[in-house]
Amino acid sequence: MLKPLSLTVSLALCGAAVAEQQDDVLAHAKALTQQHILVDGHIDVPYRVNEQWVDVTQATEGGDFDYPRARQGGLNAPFMSIYVPAELDASAESTALAHKLIDSVEAIVGRAPDKFAIATSVADVEEQFKQGLISLPMGMENGSPVQGSLATLKAFYDRGIRYITLAHSQSNHISDSSYDLRRKWKGLSPFGKEMVREMNALGMMVDISHVSDAAFYQAVEISTAPVIASHSSLRSFTPGFERNMDDDMIKALAENGGVVMINFGSTFVDQVARNWRNQFSQARKPVEQQYGEDSEQAQGFEAQYREEKPFPFAGVAKVADHIDHVVKLVGIEHVGIGSDYDGVGDSLPQGLKDVASYPNLVAELLRRGYSDDDIAKLLGENLLRVWREVERVAAEHNSNKS
């Protein structure tokens, strides 16, 4: 007669089976990220290498992106963010910096044309994927460098810019910002409205991340092509944080045919992390006012504060919750990935610390019942669909002109 297995042995066998199943799911997730085009709507490599040069065509010590890690994570179409800080708004320096950052993307490709290629169209991305190259399309974060000139807008299009985030942390000559209490334009400026129309005509995606709610609705109303949120998460998880999108905005974006690309930053996806950030900012304010924001005293205060009150990192599941919410609200066709790697500092969630980590998110979604087709849409097909429609609208516009 066989003796029953002990409880300890039974639990051990059960645990081993679960671990094996988890390994199988992760292996499948890794395969999916390699098989499909993976578009990330927003990665801040150009500003990172401008601040301190590092060769991202090779493995790097710091940062969130380099070629080996991108290959490991299946990333093959990261939008390089041409980010211009708001303090440079209304200055010639903002335009000069934008061109310099575009130069840096071209330099990455020049160093390793066997690894990277500039992409200015959906066709480029698809062809370069077949060739085994990582495409580097570009989007401009903050429209300040346009300087109120449609000719300058066209010049940036000619240099490869394929979306523009209309504003950043302050309202500019194009749009009010979600971070700026001064709502000078009550949405878009007169030039901003004209610029949206011209972006449609050129074939540039309109990016509504960072803008005020009023500017969002005006952009959606004016644009004859779908718009995107290149790196935004959802306000239902972070009440009062206008930088994220509320449910009505997501519905309007979907009706427009657009896509919201989820930002990975812990303070974007989790209210606990958001509260920590708010409390820390308030606590450090007197030190900044006395010594300066970048002073040794302010940095020392932050180090001590973090030691006493560790930052509450979100996890992969919380990012997946945001994706779930969009899918339940408007469908799988209107959500994508906009990690903000190299742009959100050390606030990235556990399990999503760099560009090698996308399979962890895919595995979580597979465990939640997402199909392989769903994953393919999320990874890149949704954004490519929008981009293709933007190209079609521009082609139609130019055809009508002639």
- pLDDT for res 9: 59
Are 36 and 370 contacting, i.e. CB atoms less than 8 angstroms apart? Answer: no
pLDDT at 398 (0 to 100): 86
Q: Per the domain annotation, does 187 fall within a domain?
A: yes
Amino acid at residue number 12: A
Let me know if residue 304 belongs to a domain.
Answer: no
Domain count, the chain: 1
Residues 6+ apart with CB under 8 A from 337: 38, 39, 40, 41, 261, 262, 358, 361, 378, 379
pLDDT score, position 295: 92
What CATH number should be reported for the domain holding residue 109? 3.20.20.140
Quick check: is 363 in a domain?
yes
Quick check: is 170 in a domain?
yes
Contact between residue 351 and residue 318 where contact means Cβ atoms under 8 Å apart = no
Q: Does 149 fall in a domain?
A: yes
pLDDT at 20: 62
* pLDDT, position 401: 78
DSSP bridge pairs for 118: 136
For 369-387, give one letter per residue: b (16+ CB within 10 A) or e: ebeeebbbbbbbbbbbbbb
Element (H, E) at 140: strand 138-141
Instruction: Decide if 138 is inside a domain.
Output: yes
pLDDT in tens, the chain (402 residues): 444 556 565 555 555 555 667 789 999 999 999 999 999 999 999 999 999 999 999 999 999 999 999 999 999 999 999 999 999 999 999 999 999 999 999 999 999 999 999 999 999 999 999 999 999 999 999 999 999 999 999 999 999 999 999 999 999 999 999 999 999 999 999 999 999 999 999 999 999 999 999 999 999 999 999 999 999 999 999 999 999 999 999 999 999 999 999 999 999 999 999 999 999 999 999 999 999 988 999 999 999 999 999 999 999 999 999 999 999 999 999 999 999 999 999 999 999 999 999 999 999 999 999 999 999 999 999 999 999 999 999 999 988 876
Closest by Cα among 109, 118, 111 to 136: 118
299 occurs within a structural domain: no
> Within a domain: residue 347?
yes
Cβ atoms within 10 Å, residue 345: 10
Cα→Cα distances 275→100, 278, 312, Å: 36, 5, 10
Percent of the chain with pLDDT strictly greater than 90: 92
Contact 200, 224 (CB under 8 A): yes
User: Among candidates 387, 384, 382, 136, which has minimal Cα distance to 128?
Assistant: 136
Domain limits at 385?
36-270+312-401
